[in-house]
Amino acid sequence: MDIADIATPDYVEVESEDRLGKVRSLFDEENPKGIIVMEAGQYAGVITERQLLRSHIDDDTKAHAMMKPAPKIDRTEDIRETARMLVEGNTKVAPVFEADRLWGIITEDQILDAVLDSLDALDVADIYTANVITIDEDDTMGRVINLLRENGISRLPVVDEDGFLTGVVTTNDIVDFVVRQGDKTTRGDRSGEIERLLDLPVYDVMSSPVETVALETSVEDAVATMLENDYSGLVVTDPDDDRVVGGVLTKTDVLRALSYTEEETMDVQITNIDLLETLSRDDVRETISKVASKYAEMDVLHAHVRFHQHKEKLRGTALIQCQIRLRTNKGQAMGTGEGYGADNAFHVAVDKLERNVLEMKGIQADEEYEGQLLRKLNQL
């Protein structure tokens, strides 16, 4: 299936010289997944809601200061490859071209709606993200924004002092709050309102009650819930206690699953691939394969490598965070590292991943030894 019939020629656009105040108003009034930025009649980039989380950006700032690149997609591109390009471009919307002319846009929602009927073969347990970051009710929104930025995520489950799920806070919640307060104040007061937001407790901004999903739920049902309610993700509950956060399932997780291949080589997905310097996808795949091979019983079904650029620099080289997540037949394995330049960050993350993989091997070895001992003692 290609995207010819699901992409749309209807999209919201601004000029690169338009004020950011106009961009904020368009998000508030039309609720687009993203806005196309044009420059001299040509496509220049996109602006997403997440980018509006950048602090200290005045309404008079020009749109081009906020835009980011998004992959250019041909109108007849395969839907799986399009899903991969959206994930690797870390965007929910991308421009669609026909004969080198901007024709329209494709969004993650359009893709998910088109493939919804084929998602009943997967359960949430197959693709969700475990070991997610949570935030306490009493933490400040400033801390929330920092966590969202640093980890490149769009939502945080909120827990009370007992660790039980009480709400969720998302980029949408933050943007909605800023827009609502902006409607009540003059333009000159906006910076004060944003500073007030940073000091607010999470409890005052979070959404509650939370839409949750169980591990055994079909991905089709989970995605249907997200599309129906315009959620970008759902909190996955722990199988032993539905008050405890077990993970998160996002639309991006589903897009990533759509791009899985059945090739003999390991399927590797790289988010923000444009940050790579001398490394290629094959280099990344080969390095991760070597780590996995140290645990002979581990079959890597899918590898996701995500790069995130911080503002800090050393001699002109940006500080990069790299997160590696493996989906294997033995569960999920992760490694995270930071370094100046993508290559350094990747190798630090690989070292952490290797330690985690060897730890998994050691835990299983201990369990097998314990089982052998118990059998010898006739206790099994």
Domain(s) of CATH 3.10.580.10: residues in the chain: 13-107, 122-254
The confidence score (pLDDT) of residue 53 equals 59
Q: Which residues of the chain have pLDDT under 50?
A: 55, 185-188, 264, 363-370, 372-374, 376-380
The confidence score (pLDDT) of residue 367 equals 45
Helix (H, G, I), strand (E, B) or coil at 280: coil
Closest by alpha carbon to 115, among 266, 15, 217, 220?
Answer: 220
**Structural fold of domain 122-254:** CBS-domain (3.10.580)
What backbone phi and psi angles, to 5 degrees, belong to 107?
A: -120, 160
The confidence score (pLDDT) of residue 269 equals 81
The confidence score (pLDDT) of residue 136 equals 95
Q: 261-371 domain in CATH 1.10.620.20?
A: no
Report pTM: 0.69
The confidence score (pLDDT) of residue 349 equals 92
The confidence score (pLDDT) of residue 106 equals 94
Helix (H) / strand (E) containing 352: helix 342-376
Alpha carbon distance 265, 297 (integer Å): 17
Domain(s) of CATH 3.30.160.100: residues in the chain: 261-371
CATH of 13-107, one of 1.10.340.30, 3.30.2290.10, 3.10.580.10, 3.30.70.360: 3.10.580.10
Beta-bridged to residue 249, according to DSSP, are 234
Closest by alpha carbon to 336, among 353, 354, 361, 315?
Answer: 353
* Residue 144 structure tokens: 């929330």
The confidence score (pLDDT) of residue 191 equals 53
